Amino acid sequence: MKTYLVTGGAGFIGSNYIHYMFNKYKDTIRIINVDVLTYAGNPENLASLETNENYIFIKEDICNKDAMHNIFKQYDIDRVVHFAAESHVDRSIRNPQVFVNTNVMGTLNLLDAAKCAWETEDGYKTDKKYLQVSTDEVYGSLEEEDSYFYESTPIDPHSPYSASKASADMIVKAYMDTFHFPANITRCSNNYGPYQFPEKLIPLMINNALLGKKLPIYGDGKNVRDWLYVMDHAKAIDMVMEQGKLYEVYNVGGHNEKQNVDIVNIIIDTLASLLPDSDSRKAHVNKDLITYVEDRKGHDRRYAIAPDKIKSEIGWEPETMFAEGIRLTIEWYLNNNEWMEHVTSGDYQKYYQEMYK
């Protein structure tokens, strides 16, 4: 039985990945989820696994070096999938410090603990691998139409968030280049799907529309993101882990570029079509809610991934068409009102007031 150490598994992508893995491998794997439970970490995302004896939750900070080493001493870990991070660009503009601590120093701690545990006299124990979950934002912004991010595109981050993720990638690269540490890096585009915290564009717009609140679009709304359904990302991570060539970087993208304003319009139309006439919220879900607000500082104009390498070397492709993925996502939020109420009580209200005042 393989033992996975997943960091940040109580967050959006991490929890979807853990569900994907248990659905696929059933009781042939064990997953240890290390998560300090920041505002973005939510044990409710994994409540259905409480009785699964192959799932172990450890509430711990990846910045705690001794704790990371102890986990590797306690368990014989075969795979590390490193999701834990501060992940929201707007928050990084307001408070960069925590991004560098978690995303850079936390990554270094984890690498160091894995390297110590896996090293032998002449290399590493067999069949061990570390996967760094990175982002297309490390490549910066595409200004020209028909240009794409390739693995060979120079790193050119702009926000404190993307700079911290790029720094983490460089530390992983240093471990691969200097110590031949067995690792891969994946760089993915914007994910959407269930369990995403409503500070990000899609769940924020769904929640606001249902509450009849304004839908705040930054700048002219024409910034482009390349959207990928989160379960397709989970599958890509698993495939890179098992089939990826050691030391390689793989871009993961949805072939699905959309302007922000188009995303918001699709959300309004889909909500309006899914809500029954008897639901009182249906009356206020309309385009009058759209409001253009001050632009994000340093707002990257366009992201678009060329996932050619992962397709040709590994055979992964995005499977979920956006029309289907957004319907599944909106249905999930409609069916999980309590989840939304829990994550938007307390600190979220303060964040929202300060951010959108």
The active-site residue out of 35, 137, 199, 257 is 137
The number of angstroms, rounded, from the C-alpha of 176 to the middle of its chain's C-alpha atoms is 23
37 counts as binding ligand NAD under rule CB under 6 A: yes
Which of 82-90, 109-117, 257-265, 296-304 is the region at the interface with ligand NAD (rule: CB under 6 A)?
A: 82-90
Instruction: Give me the least distance between CB of 66 and ligand NAD, in Å please.
Output: 14
77 counts as binding ligand NAD under rule CB under 6 A: no
Q: Is 136 a catalytic residue?
A: yes
Instruction: Give me the least distance between CB of 225 and ligand NAD, in Å please.
Output: 9
Q: What is the DSSP letter of 245?
A: P
Task: Name the residue among 62, 59, 56, 94 with its Cα closest to residue 75.
Answer: 56
User: Please, what is the Cα angle at 131 between 65 and 175, to 5 degrees?
Assistant: 60
Q: Is 137 a catalytic residue?
A: yes
Instruction: Give me the least distance between CB of 52 and ligand DAU, in Å please.
Output: 28
| Closer residue to ligand DAU, CB minimum distance, 190 or 270 | 190
What SS3 class is residue 350?
helix
Judged by beta carbon distances under 5 to 8 A according to partner kind, the member of ligand NAD, ligand DAU, none in contact with residue 257 is none
Q: Is 161 a catalytic residue?
A: yes
197 counts as binding ligand NAD under rule CB under 6 A: yes
Which of 141-149, 190-198, 309-317, 320-328 is the region at the interface with ligand NAD (rule: CB under 6 A)?
A: 190-198
149 counts as binding ligand NAD under rule CB under 6 A: no
194 counts as binding ligand NAD under rule CB under 6 A: no
Instruction: Give me the least distance between CB of 41 and ligand NAD, in Å please.
Output: 2
Task: Name the residue among 231, 253, 335 with its Cα closest to residue 302.
Answer: 253
Q: What is the DSSP letter of 302?
A: B
Amino acid at the residue 241: M
What SS3 class is residue 283?
helix
| Closer residue to ligand DAU, CB minimum distance, 16 or 87 | 87
40 counts as binding ligand NAD under rule CB under 6 A: yes
Among 19, 30, 165, 258, binds ligand NAD (CB under 6 A): 165
Task: State how far the Cα of 81 lies from the Cα of 8, in Å rounded to an integer.
Answer: 9
Task: Name the residue among 348, 38, 17 with its Cα closest to residue 194.
Answer: 17
- What are the structure tokens assigned to 121, written together? 């006299």
Which residues on adjacent β-strands are paired with residue 29? 2
The answer to whether the Cα torsion of 35, 39, 44, 46 is positive or negative is negative
The active-site residue out of 35, 86, 136, 300 is 136
Residue labelled with tokens 């570390």: 130
Furthest C-alpha separation in the chain: 69
Which residues are near ligand NAD by CB under 6 A? 7-8, 10-14, 35-38, 40-41, 61-63, 83-87, 102, 106, 133, 135, 165, 188, 190-191, 197
Q: Which residues are catalytic?
A: 136-137, 161
